[in-house]
Amino acid sequence: MKIDILTIFPDMFTGPLTESLIGKARDKKILDIAIHDIRSFATDKHHSVDDKPFGGGPGMVMKVEPLYRALSSVGAMRKKNRPYVVYLSPQGRQLGHALATEIASRKHVVLVCGHYEGIDERAERWFDEEVSIGDYVLTGGELPAMVLIDVIARFIPGVVKERASVEQDSFYNGLLDYPHYTRPAVFKGMKVPPVLLSGNHAQMDVWRTEQSHERTRRRRPDLLKGIQQKKKRTKRRIK
């Protein structure tokens, strides 16, 4: 998968994209990630990427010209085989499992990191999706871009060594993950559930499914409600 990042703060990505699974995936050429400084596409002597908003108001607005040139440089203006362009915005569609898998299925993704009061509205025609990581405002789109990359990378074959690890994660089947334990079996009087030490894998599977449902019921009952509604819709279609 190829990912191009358009940002005015390229150095922010150095740590997150060179360590852990992301760094290893890049070394193995599973992920091809390039970072582009939008300032380098500005033509004035100060490399300006922002200006005061028309009509007045607080803050600054990202200019459309440098962003257009940056998008053009990564193929976003092509009519054929153009990349999927994502703008990280608090006004966008909230990032969740379904959206993450949708973006992860793309071969080439461009991530646009906004700043200031936002971008010139005329640039939005070049975006395929606006994505938010929550109902709050950050100083810029860099951190959301890092989060999105980390989320979608897990769905790309070869990034996570064991595919089963991804399929058993929270949200993969609509539920939260079950509890996990490792050695020692007893720590300060706290014991690992006996079923996990029994060697009976059928019983372990039942226990894990029950725990997953119970944890979801206690912590995220809204997820169970969504699953139930989906089942009802499926039944109505079958009838």
The sheet carrying 108-113 orders its strands as: 32-37, 2-7, 108-113, 84-94, 129-132
Element (H, E) at 144: helix 142-153
Contacts of 102 (CB under 8 A, 6+ apart): none
The catalytic position among 4, 50, 142, 154 is 154
Indicate if 33 and 113 belong to the same structural domain: yes
pLDDT score of 161:
77
Residue 188, domain member (yes or no): yes
Indicate if 9 and 75 belong to the same structural domain: yes
Indicate if 141 and 197 belong to the same structural domain: no
The closest alpha carbon to 3, from 86, 114, 117, 89, belongs to 86
Indicate if 113 and 172 belong to the same structural domain: no
Average pLDDT, stretch 87-112? 96
pLDDT at 196 over 80: yes
Torsions phi, psi of 19, nearest 5?
Answer: -115, 170
Q: How confident is the model at residue 162 (pLDDT cuts 50, 70, 90)?
A: confident
Residue 134, domain member (yes or no): yes
Indicate if 59 and 139 belong to the same structural domain: yes
For 49-78, write each residue's pLDDT tens digit: 999 999 999 999 999 999 999 999 999 999
CATH of the domain at 77: 3.40.1280.10
The catalytic position among 66, 83, 90, 144 is 90
Residue 163, domain member (yes or no): no
Indicate if 215 and 109 belong to the same structural domain: no
The catalytic position among 16, 53, 82, 117 is 117
Sign of the Cα torsion 203, 180, 105, 93 reads positive
Q: What is the C-alpha to C-alpha distance for residues 224 and 221, in angstroms, rounded to an integer? A: 5
pLDDT score of 27:
97
Residue 16 a catalytic site member: no
Indicate if 40 and 122 belong to the same structural domain: yes
Indicate if 104 and 46 belong to the same structural domain: yes
**Structural domain boundaries, residue 60:** 2-153
pTM (2 d.p.): 0.87
Asked if 140 and 115 count as a contact pair (C-beta separation under 8 A), the reply is yes
Average pLDDT, stretch 205-223? 95
Residue type present at position 105:
S
Residue 162, domain member (yes or no): no
Into how many domains does the chain fold?
2
pLDDT at 232 over 70: no
CATH of the domain at 187: 1.10.1270.20
Residue 83 a catalytic site member: no
Residue 144 a catalytic site member: no
Indicate if 136 and 212 belong to the same structural domain: no
The catalytic position among 169, 177, 179, 215 is 169
Of 14-23, 59-68, 162-171, 215-224, minimum mean pLDDT range:
162-171
Residue 82, domain member (yes or no): yes
Residue 106 a catalytic site member: no
Residue 145, domain member (yes or no): yes
